[in-house]
Structure 1
Amino acid sequence: MTMRKIAGAALALLSLAALPAIAAGDPAVGKEKSTVCAACHGPDGNSPSPEFPRIGGQYEEYLYQALLAYKAGKRKNPIMMAQVEKLSPADLGDLAAYFASQKGLYQKR
């Protein structure tokens, strides 16, 4: 193996290690934790109001990363920031898993 291939392989492995891993969420636990979310997003994440995003059926990783971003202040929304402020990464993972398991607006499940 040439040095270039070795360096490339090492760089690829380091890149994978730097990716944030999703906390493996439990949809059943997430459903229990989601009652406060239902006020805006609806019980299954499909808000009837156009003022709030429909999150049902979204990708779990996307939802988890979005929640982390609200918690870290990278996404700016005072309501969401206050909602996730005291939640743990496991809580966020459970919520992401629950809403990802729901039928989305354009999905046939």
Structure 2
Amino acid sequence: MSRFLSLAPIAACLLLSMPLFAADTAKGDIAAGHELAYTCHGCHGVTGYKNAYPNYHVPRITGQNYDYLVNALTEYKKGERAHPTMRAQGESLSDADIRNLSAYLASLNDAAH
């Protein structure tokens, strides 16, 4: 019985820390997001490339907040945002794709990309 009691605090710490690890993995797979990001570069990614300006303001997405990216892509997917190109992009992504792509983009340093 005393052996069980001595292990109880360790077990409690492990159980209580599980949501922390789950939150990190729920944010998506950066490597999988890298595979999806090729389509973003035409408008958002090439340094010095002026693809859509001045017709559309093309926002910075590298180094952007993860939750912002997930929300924006989800809203495009649901049709809650109106940009036709981004709506088509959003509709082509699964929820896991959105998390993975957002994790990858959020991991980048904007100055380097």
TM-score range, shorter chain: 0.5 to 0.7
Residue of structure 2 aligned with 1:31, choices 20, 30, 34: 34
Rg: which structure is higher? Answer: 2
- Consecutive unaligned residues in structure 1, runs of 5 or more: 1-22
**Cα deviations across residues 66-99 of structure 1 (Å, max 9, x unaligned)?**
0000001111100000112121000000110011
CA contact (8 A) 1:57 1:99 kept: yes
Q: Which residue of 1 aligns with 2:45?
A: 42
Give the TM-score of the pair, scaled to structure 2: 0.65
Asked whether 1:59 is paired with 2:65, we answer yes
Asked whether 1:79 is paired with 2:85, we answer yes
Cα distance, 1:24 vs. partner?
2.1
SS of equivalent to 1:35: helix
Shift >4 Å, 4+ stretches? none
Cα distance, 1:103 vs. partner?
0.7
C-alpha distance 47-76 of structure 1, shift in aligned 2 (>3 A): farther
CA contact (8 A) 1:47 1:53 kept: no
Q: CA RMSD in A?
A: 2.0
Q: Which residue of 1 aligns with 2:108?
A: 102
- Consecutive unaligned residues in structure 2, runs of 5 or more: 1-25
Alignment of 1:2-13 (within 5 A): none
Percent identity between matched residues is: 45
Cα distance, 1:52 vs. partner?
1.4
Give the TM-score of the pair, scaled to structure 1: 0.67
CA contact (8 A) 1:60 1:96 kept: yes
Asked whether 1:90 is paired with 2:91, we answer no
Corresponding pairs, count: 82
